[in-house]
Amino acid sequence: MQDVRRRVEDGTLPAGKAKVVRLERSYPASAEEVWDAVTSAERIPRWFLPVSGDLRLGGSYQLEGNAGGEIRVCDPPHRLVVTWVMGEPTPEDSSLVEVLLGPADGGGTRLELVHTAVVPPEMWDQFGPGAVGVGWDLALLG
């Protein structure tokens, strides 16, 4: 897991105080290639889960057996922001996932994934950063 760097900080969402988990990894590929890997319905299952939906700005998506949400920002090949909701959406449990792409030190592309979520204190006490999802670390490792 040395290839994935992780930071945890406090933040806010409209629903209240939130935890912000930032994961970063560099890839020996162009920003366009990495963008395609994180936004293409054909490529996402190679590193995460099958996805369906209207994968465009303003559209919605659903990951098989997992979260779904709306596509809020889509600025190829730099920035993607989606809501992240497990089950029926309510303002309290909606979180945001942001993917930022930029040049990596030494060449290639740096991917930063930022997941901001309102996490109940008892859940944070029990799971720590895993409350926002250890799956991100595993997915970025490929």
Q: What is the pLDDT of residues 13-33, one digit of tens each?
A: 988 899 999 999 999 999 999
Does 70 fall in a domain? yes
Does 142 fall in a domain? no
Asked if residue 131 has pLDDT above 90, the reply is no
String of DSSP letters for the chain:
-TTSEEEEEEEEETTEEEEEEEEEEEESS-HHHHHHHHH-TTTHHHHS--EEE--STT-EEEETTS-EEEEEEEETTTEEEEEEBSSS--TTT-EEEEEEEEEPTTSSEEEEEEEEE---HHHHHHHGGGGGTTHHHHHHH-
Q: What is the pLDDT of residues 106-130, one digit of tens each?
A: 999 999 999 998 888 888 888 877 7
Total domains, the chain: 1
The residue range of the domain holding 95 is 5-137
CATH number of the domain to which 57 belongs: 3.30.530.20
Q: What is the pLDDT of residues 70-115, one digit of tens each?
A: 999 999 999 999 999 887 666 566 799 999 999 999 999 999 999 9
Query: How many Å apart are CA 132 and CA 117, to the nearest integer?
Result: 7
Instruction: Write down the pTM of the prediction.
Output: 0.88
